[in-house]
Amino acid sequence: MRACGTMVPVSTSSLVLILVVVVVVLIAALVTGVVLTRRRRISLTQKQREQGARPTGYQASSGISLTPAAPEATVTEAVTDAAVTEEVVTSAPAPVEHPVADRTEVDGQPGVGDDASVPRDSVKRGFVEVDLPVEASEVEEIEPTEGRLERLRGKLSKSRNAFGTSLLGLLGAGDLDEDSWQDVEDTLLIADLGATLTMEIVETLRSRIVAAGVRTEAEAHALLRSVLVDALAPKMDRSLKALPHAGKPAVLLVVGVNGVGKTTTTGKLARVLVADGRTVLLGAADTFRAAAADQLETWGKRVGAETVRGPEGGDPASVAFEAVKRGMDAGVDTVLIDTAGRLHTKVGLMDELGKVKRVVEKQAVVDEVLLVLDATTGQNGLTQARVFAEQVAITGIVLTKLDGTAKGGIVFQVQRELGVPVKLVGLGEGADHLAPFEPGAFVDALLG
Ligand SMILES: Nc1nc2c(ncn2[C@@H]2O[C@H](COP(=O)(O)OP(=O)(O)OP(=O)(O)O)[C@@H](O)[C@H]2O)c(=O)[nH]1
């Protein structure tokens, strides 16, 4: 008898059989693994393709709604449109008077070089006076822009104190006498809502307070919120026409007077687009200010975007043209063109802007002309906006430096006056301090 546990001898053929089984099992596992990995990769690619193929506007994950321009716009039509716009402008009922002395061109051909003979509207900033954005050794992580306005609401504290807090204090105090209504009016005027809009809002508040029988502070808050949101035209299309169409990149032109934050906004906007998975090319058509192109190029490097630049003092229209050409050749999604600051009263410089747009339109549609306004300049911003809108058809407003002012009310006025939506707001010098403008979130930030 063999004791239990004694080893049973295994024949060579059994060993071979076991080995064959093990090898077959291993091969089967390997094949299954490969098939699963392929499937996963294929489904991911399909998903990406679906995302890329969305034909019309969508809410970008970045929180800024990006859309392609209307499909019917073609280059030729755009050129014709530009001519039509100019005709309309010339036949506008009340053209803005420009003193002839302000003309800067000397030969009828607007160009930055002309300014050598006549001083431009502002002192040139040299290298030493301009803080270049921090150079990054590698492409940076970008903060998501979804909910930025909520996250940056603290930056609106100056406007909140001057505007929301005092208004709520007045309205929440119960029955308002004439003096209190006068205070409401003054608060709105000081916050830069302008006389017409202020009167409208006061009238609406007076009638609705009575009709709704507002008694508590919470009711006053709700009423004020609804009146202010309505005054911000919440239904305006604030999507950014920054997506390619008809096989060409979207082209955005950034314009405004000196020092309002055009280059900074262009850089911040490139980050927003890159964060949304878009490819971007920057055009440094600000050939006037020393270091403007360096400033833009540094912004570009931080997000891996190429910058097309020209010689200092060169023709901005030709830089813009080259940038769009390069963008088309490289197949990027969006070309962002930064232009030089120009005072709206300088006819030659305003003509130059029209030329930049027309030259670009020889090869692609300009989908957006974003006017950058410095919120701290108050009513003057409005005057600038009117003149810029006459020269180039403004499609959106970027209101910068809202963090540094108690006059957040300019947002209300500029939209009302121009019928052009505020699309973005600058809330600080930080690289990601640019937020999509949302009326509800903005009013909430003002009212605290
Ligand atoms: N606080 C604050 N500062 C801003 C904002 N946007 C821009 N700036 C600052 O404004 C200054 C001018 O910005 P730039 O981008 O150089 O202005 P620009 O319009 O390109 O200037 P020019 O080319 O000379 O016309 C810089 O110091 C920016 O950091 C903002 O939203 N908030």
CATH T-level assignment (fold) for domain 153-231: Four Helix Bundle (Hemerythrin (Met), subunit A) (1.20.120)
* Range 347-356 burial, b when 16+ CB lie within 10 A, else e: bbbbbbbbbb
Which residue's C-alpha comes closest to atom 10 of ligand 1? Answer: 261
CA distance 310 to 324: 13
Which ligand 1 atom is the nearest neighbour of the CA of 434?
31
pLDDT single digits (tens) 272-321: 999 889 999 999 998 888 788 999 999 999 989 999 998 888 899 999 99
Decide if domain 80-120+237-447 falls under CATH 3.40.50.300.
yes
Domain with CATH 3.40.50.300 in the chain: 80-120+237-447
369 three-class SS: strand
Q: How many helices (H) and strands (E) does the chain have?
A: 15, 11
243 three-class SS: strand
As a whole number, the mean pLDDT across the chain is 76
The per-residue DSSP string of 8-22 comes to: PP--HHHHHHHHHHH
Q: How far is the CA of 234 from the centre of ligand 1 (A)?
A: 27
Cβ < 6 Å from ligand 1: which residues? 256, 258-264, 286, 289, 292, 340-341, 400-401, 403-404, 426-429, 433
Ligand 1 binding pocket mutation candidate from 156, 429, 432 (most atoms within 8 A of CB):
429
Ligand-binding site membership of 346 (annotated) = no
Least confident range of 21-35, 86-100, 416-430 = 86-100
Domain with CATH 1.20.120.140 in the chain: 153-231
Q: How far is the CA of 262 from the centre of ligand 1 (A)?
A: 6
pLDDT single digits (tens) 180-213: 899 999 988 888 888 999 999 999 999 998 888 8
Q: What is the average pLDDT across 171-187?
A: 85
Residues 221/172, Cβ–Cβ less than 8 Å = yes
Ligand-binding site membership of 260 (annotated) = yes
pLDDT at position 398 over 50: yes
Nearest CA-CA partner of 147 in 448, 440, 398, 402: 440
The DSSP H or E segment spanning 254 is strand 250-255
Query: What is the model's pLDDT at position 71?
Result: 58
Range ranked top by mean pLDDT from 76-80, 161-165, 381-385: 381-385
